[in-house]
Amino acid sequence: MITRILAAVVLALGISLSAFVFISEKNGGPFPLSFGLDLAGGTHLIYKADTSELSEFERKESLISLREVIERRTNLFGVAEPLVQVEESSFVAETREDRLIVELPGVTNLSEAVRIIGETPLLDFRIENPDAAFDAVEEDRYMSVGLTGRFINSAELTFASGGGGISNDPIVLVNFNNEGADLFEEITRDNVGKQLAIFLDGAVISAPVVREAIAGGTAQISGGFTPEEARDLVRDLNFGALPVPIELISTQSIGPSLGKAILQDGAIAGAFGLMLIMIFMIIWYRLPGVIASVALLFYIALMLLVMKLVPVTLTAAGIAGLILSFGMAVDANVLIFERMKEELKAGKGVRDAVREGFARAWLPIRDGNISSLIAAIILFWFGTSIIEGFALVFALGVLLSMFSAITVTRLVLLAIAPKEAGKVSRALFGSGIKL
């Protein structure tokens, strides 16, 4: 009796789960499924961040501030839910490389996206190299002193008053943070009489001679630029002087129409696949097949629910993984039913056969599924963001299907299995097409 009540409760739970999953996907419902860039449309950019000249500590610091700067930039242009993250190349890469990954959902204009991120100036202070040849190119005449845009707090625009009281030359004042201020003072103290060049994106914009040590943490840049250029520079410095140079190494941009088609096709394929599997299970396993089909539906509702709540981002590969998992989800049931059939043949009662079938099938189910989980973990490591979607769905599918195939099927089977096996119930619980 208790099993029957429990079974009814589980079935009711399954129905309410499906109802919730269905209703919450209607417009404006809570916990909508989240779709990856390849389904929703958007742009995915990977930059290489050049941190080769920094110490380990500086590297970490500058990567954090790089992320912040880029995040500010993406926010500035009103992109919904941008994702900016820093990542190290995997250990199998030829050289260690720091990468910046930017995801811009909804931005399908690639050149626009690249412009949003890319047009940030790189500011760098360099000191005159006394050993350089007289006719050396600009690059070689100066040495980096480690003072870059990452030490900048803010920038402002003023105008130098020229002769006759007419303000002309625009001056950009750069305020360093504490660390930068100390560094700047040290550099100016050690290099009195030398030229301190200010490089913007690799080109000298001015190279004043240091007259004395400068304390207080403010540097003046007057490079003979127009007021417009100076204003842009100040804005860019404030909104994002990049602490380290970045270089675009991969771009992907996907229009929204393609994603919609993928989603639609996926839904149709999923529904058809599900139907075929259920028909096969019912023809082959009869009554238990019907129950396995119910468990499969339960599994799908549970899967969607977990994906909504976590949330797991659904990608094209993830949809493929989900559909694949329909086929694999019934595996535990197939194992159990085959075992049950053996026990029935050995002359056990239906209910005992059910119990025995479950007990004996557990070990191979567990061992087999662990190997699938190991594969999922390695898949997750292998993957770029789009593939991670597959690995996650694959792993979740293994775990949840194990649960649904075992608990749900067991409860319902035990609830309806008669104690003694008559001819009818043997036929209902038997399986296979007589060959």
Partner 1 sequence: MFVVHYRNIFLGIGALLLAAAIGAILFFGLRFSIDFTGGTLLEISYTQERPTQDVISSKVENLAVGSYSVRAAGEEGYIIRTRDLNQDELDALTALLSIEENAVSVDRVTTIGPSLGGELGRKALFALAALSVVIVLYVAYVFRRVSKPVPSIYYGFIVVLALLHDIIIPTGFFAIMGYYFGAEIDALFVVALLAILGYSVNDTIVVFDRIRENIAANIERNVKESFEITVGKSLQQTYMRSINTSVTTALALLALFFLGAGVTENFALTLLVGVVAGTYSSIFLAAPLLVSLQKKIYKKG
Question: What whole-number distance in Å separates Cα of residue 237 and Cα of residue 120?
Answer: 8
- Rounded least distance, CB 94 to partner 1, Å: 7
- Rounded least distance, CB 205 to partner 1, Å: 24
- Rounded least distance, CB 395 to partner 1, Å: 10
Note the helical H segments in 310-349: 316-329, 331-345
User: Do the beta carbons of residue 326 and residue 272 sit within 8 Å?
Assistant: no
Closest CA to 326 of 247, 394, 380: 394
Closest CA to 191 of 209, 177, 175, 205: 209
Residue 41, C-beta contacts closer than 8 angstroms, at least 6 positions apart? 105, 106, 108, 254, 255, 256, 257, 258, 259
For partner 1, the closer of residues 98 and 331 by Cβ is 331
- Rounded least distance, CB 52 to partner 1, Å: 14
- Rounded least distance, CB 397 to partner 1, Å: 11
Secondary structure (DSSP) of 225-284: --HHHHHHHHHHHHHH--SS-EEEEEEEEE-HHHHHHHHHHHHHHHHHHHHHHHHHHHHH
For partner 1, the closer of residues 208 and 383 by Cβ is 383
Closest CA to 359 of 340, 334, 331: 340
* Cα 434 from chain centre: 50
- Rounded least distance, CB 331 to partner 1, Å: 4
For partner 1, the closer of residues 199 and 394 by Cβ is 394
For partner 1, the closer of residues 69 and 335 by Cβ is 335
Upstream peptide bond of 311 is cis (omega within 30 degrees of 0): yes
Question: What whole-number distance in Å separates Cα of residue 284 and Cα of residue 337?
Answer: 10
For partner 1, the closer of residues 175 and 369 by Cβ is 369
User: Do the beta carbons of residue 103 and residue 43 sit within 8 Å?
Assistant: yes
Closest CA to 150 of 229, 225, 49, 220: 49
Closest CA to 233 of 179, 311, 279, 173: 173
For partner 1, the closer of residues 18 and 372 by Cβ is 372
Residue 410, C-beta contacts closer than 8 angstroms, at least 6 positions apart? 354, 358
For partner 1, the closer of residues 221 and 391 by Cβ is 391
For partner 1, the closer of residues 111 and 178 by Cβ is 111
- Rounded least distance, CB 271 to partner 1, Å: 8
- Rounded least distance, CB 255 to partner 1, Å: 4
Burial 73-89 (b: 16+ CB within 10 A, else e): bbeeeebeebbbebeee
- Tally DSSP H helices, then E strands, for the chain: 14, 13
For partner 1, the closer of residues 240 and 397 by Cβ is 397
- Rounded least distance, CB 373 to partner 1, Å: 8
- Rounded least distance, CB 346 to partner 1, Å: 12
List 237's β-bridge partners, or say none.
none
For partner 1, the closer of residues 132 and 258 by Cβ is 258
For partner 1, the closer of residues 16 and 371 by Cβ is 371
- Rounded least distance, CB 403 to partner 1, Å: 17
With tokens 């539906």, the residue in question is: 297
